[in-house]
Chain A
Amino acid sequence: MTFGDCTRVAAGALLRYPLRTAMMLLATAIGVAAVLVLTALGEAARSFVTDEFRALGTHLLVVLPGKTETTGMGPGLMAGESPRDLTLDDARAVLRSRAVARVAPLVVGAATVSFGGLERDITVMGTTAAMVEIRQWRMATGEFLRDQDWDRASPECVLGDTLRRELFAGLQPVGHWLRVGDRRCRVAGVLAPQGMSIMANVDELVLMPVAAAQQLLNVPGLFRLLIQATGRETVAGAQRDVVRILKERHRGQEDVTVITQDAVLTTFDGIFGALTAALAGIAAVSLVVAGVLIMNVMLVAVSQRTAEIGLLKALGASRRQVTRLFLTEAMILAACGALAGLVLGYAALVLMRALYPDLAFEPPGWALAGACLVALGCGVGFGILPARRAARLDPIAALAGR
């Protein structure tokens, strides 16, 4: 029997029971579609988070004061103090490295802003003009903080979009004077809406010159240094330089932690990659269930078609041929089921994209290939038992329908 004939006979047998065949296809399709949709979800989460991190800027390094042996994202790094502050002079010194393009010192704290009788608790960020370039913020109106001597506490500030709406409903804020804590400052500009970001909600920030923020919050040191390397290749060099420079300045003690954006990205990539793989595994369980169903129905088919098999054998079909016939049926089921699953999965993805246009739902290639392979594997694997059973039937008994 040629391959074509075999396929035709198998397909004919399947079409004789359309409902049953449709159900097996549906079962396989649900499994494949589940793999697609779940891995696409995992991927979307991964790219959302990494994109957010990338949006912080390119070739970034973050310097935090303090260091423990155990580096990582533990609370020790997130919130801690070190005996020696990071200073503005440290920030200036870092610029000596040729691998470093820009440095933005950061001071962060809470304060109350008031304008025209309206009052609000906000987060104040003290920084320098370099910040707008590092983070690639866009301005809605006015100017960002002036590029001036970092030690000058000039009374100016830049507002986030939410603050503008809440404090200056309808009013043009640029040029107005705002009270922040116990200081007054002139609004120089307003940032365009930025949305949530990993570090803080930029739309709710008040940005001030770093020296002004230090005075306002009464902190001598810096919270972070945000450093931009000159290029992707120089990030590692910049990290080495920064550590070396700061160590020199801190009397030979390495009391800062330098995190590169790439390292964080890699960590997140790893976490979300594992998550996606786990989701794929869970979804694949349903493929196994579909395989069990295929096996079950094929077994039924073998017992129902006993007489037919007996006839085939009486007409000279070998065991091999009978096995092949039934395995072909299982393969067709699995392949068509996988195909239907792809269609179903992609339809679901189209729907999800329409609902959440911000997220990139795209199943990874390995999941696509893996789902189809597992479906086919299940089809063949679970098809073997029924096919064997059919092949072993005794032709005389089979013809008698027993």
Chain B
Amino acid sequence: MNGRELVRFATHSALSHRLRSVLTALGIGIGVTAVVLLTSMGEGLHRYVLEQFTQFGTNIIGINPGRSTTFGASTGIFGSVRPLTIDDAEALKRVPFVLNTVPVVQGTASVEGGGRERSTNISGVGPEFQTAFDFRVALGTFLPADDPRAPRPLAVLGAKMRHELYGERSPLGELLRVGGERYRVIGVMEPKGQVLGFDLDDTVYIPAARALELYNRQGLFEIDVLYDKAVPADEVVAGIERMIIARHGGLDVTITTQQQMLDVLGSVLDIVTFAVAALGGISLLVGGVGIFTIMTIAVRERTAEIGLLRAIGAGRAQIRAIFLGESILLAGIGGAGGLLVGGLTVVLLGVAVPALPVGIALPYVVAAEAVAVLIGLAAGVVPAQRAAALDPVEALRAE
């Protein structure tokens, strides 16, 4: 008997107990569906988070004051011994392959304008911010390239901020009070949405030096460095380190490349996806128990048939192959059905709830089907072995 005939034989006997075979395959199918659904949610989360992080490009390096050994909250956010200054940001522009640097100061303040008041996020940034992060201006212009140490009091509003204060009116040229100081509105940004919980539209952009004054601090929050994509990040980081050491007399900053961040995030999210896949695997395990049980029953039920096959010359290996084939077939078909249902559900979810981040995790889909087939194999081994070991005379007597 060759492979194709084996499959035909197995299909034939599986079809002769239609309901039973369907239910057996269903057990595996539910498990595979669970794996597909869960991993696609994991994958969706993965993609969503990575998208959030990469939407500003991957060729960005963040410099935070203070040295921290572990990735994550740099102690520098609490303030540091040697502050990062606007001069540092200017100097870093001279590092090879650096295209642009953006000084950043962040905080909250009460903002008054258009007869209303609102507590909101304040981003003190440089004029390069707009191009570096690819933000588009809806109205007017972004902050101009003033003297970075003494910029004019100009402000650009986030889309939501403009709406809250001025409604549909154009705010261009209006006066705005930020923490008591007067600014003139020269632009409005296009809506950008939230990034990891931080509403970019509920923000007022002012020059970094003015934000430092507002908050009465010497040090910047962060300097973002945009570098030439063609150059490896390590080279740029080395240049930045040399510059900081030259200016500060030591490396008292934390340099984080986008890539590092993505790597760490990526591996964490991979673990999450793996964990949910394993959870879905519990159902697959139960489905495997089902196949085992049904195959054991089948061997018992078809003892006479086994005896006959042996009488007409089937070897043990052939009997084993027949039952293993049937078990694998059931699991494989169940798995394929699960893939179909799971995949369709994911697609439908994607259409019905576009906001829900789902994406089919192909490696897991393939793995789920492979595991289903393996489970069929594992669950079939003992019953098939039992069938092969049956004594033909005994088997024939069974009726």
Distance of B85 from chain A, by nearest CB (Å): 13
Contact pick for A67, options B20, B119, B198, B215, CB 8 Å: B119
Q: How large is the interface on A (under 10, 10 to 19, 20 to 34, 35 or more residues)?
A: 35 or more
Q: Are B197 and A286 in contact (CB under 8 A)?
A: no
Interface string of B100-132 (1 = CB under 8 A from A): 000001111110000000111100000000000
**B142 interface hit (Cβ, 8 Å):** no
Q: Are A81 and B217 in contact (CB under 8 A)?
A: yes
Q: Determine the residue in chain B with the shortest Cβ distance to A282.
A: B279
Q: Are B217 and A110 in contact (CB under 8 A)?
A: no
Q: Are A289 and B296 in contact (CB under 8 A)?
A: no
Distance of B287 from chain A, by nearest CB (Å): 5
**A384 interface hit (Cβ, 8 Å):** no
Q: How many A-B residue pairs have CB under 8 A?
A: 191
Q: Are A69 and B118 in contact (CB under 8 A)?
A: yes
Distance of A89 from chain B, by nearest CB (Å): 16
Distance of A278 from chain B, by nearest CB (Å): 10
Q: Are B279 and A38 in contact (CB under 8 A)?
A: yes
**B179 interface hit (Cβ, 8 Å):** yes
Contact pick for A253, options B69, B110, B118, CB 8 Å: B110
Q: Which residues of A contact B296 (CB under 8 A)?
A: 19-20, 23
**A197 interface hit (Cβ, 8 Å):** no
Q: Which residues of B contact A304 (CB under 8 A)?
A: 301
Q: Are A20 and B293 in contact (CB under 8 A)?
A: yes
* A38 vs B196: C-alpha distance when bound (angstroms): 28
Q: Tell me whether A220 and B79 are in contact in the complex, defined as CB-CB below 8 angstroms, given that A67-B108, A253-B110 are known contacts.
A: no
Q: Which residues of B contact A81 (CB under 8 A)?
A: 105-108, 215, 217
**A285 interface hit (Cβ, 8 Å):** yes
Q: Which residues of B contact A76 (CB under 8 A)?
A: 108, 121, 198
Distance of A142 from chain B, by nearest CB (Å): 25
**A393 interface hit (Cβ, 8 Å):** no
Contact pick for A79, options B31, B77, B216, B289, CB 8 Å: B77
- Residue among A283, A299, A300, A304 with the highest chain B CB neighbour number at 10 A: A300
Chain B interfacial positions (CB closer than 8 Å to A): 19-20, 23-24, 26-27, 30-31, 34, 38, 65-69, 75-81, 105-110, 118-121, 179-180, 196-199, 202, 214-218, 221, 276, 279-280, 282-283, 285-287, 289-290, 292-294, 296-297, 301
The 15 sampled A-B contact pairs (Cβ below 8 Å) are A27-B289, A67-B119, A69-B120, A69-B202, A80-B108, A81-B105, A81-B215, A83-B215, A109-B66, A218-B218, A223-B79, A286-B31, A289-B31, A293-B27, A296-B290
Sample of 17 more A-B contacts, CB < 8 Å, known A67-B119, A83-B109? A31-B286, A67-B110, A68-B121, A69-B202, A80-B108, A81-B108, A81-B215, A83-B110, A108-B78, A217-B79, A218-B218, A221-B216, A255-B109, A283-B282, A293-B287, A295-B23, A299-B20
7 tightest A-B CB contacts, nearest first: A81-B107, A83-B179, A66-B108, A110-B66, A110-B75, A293-B290, A108-B78
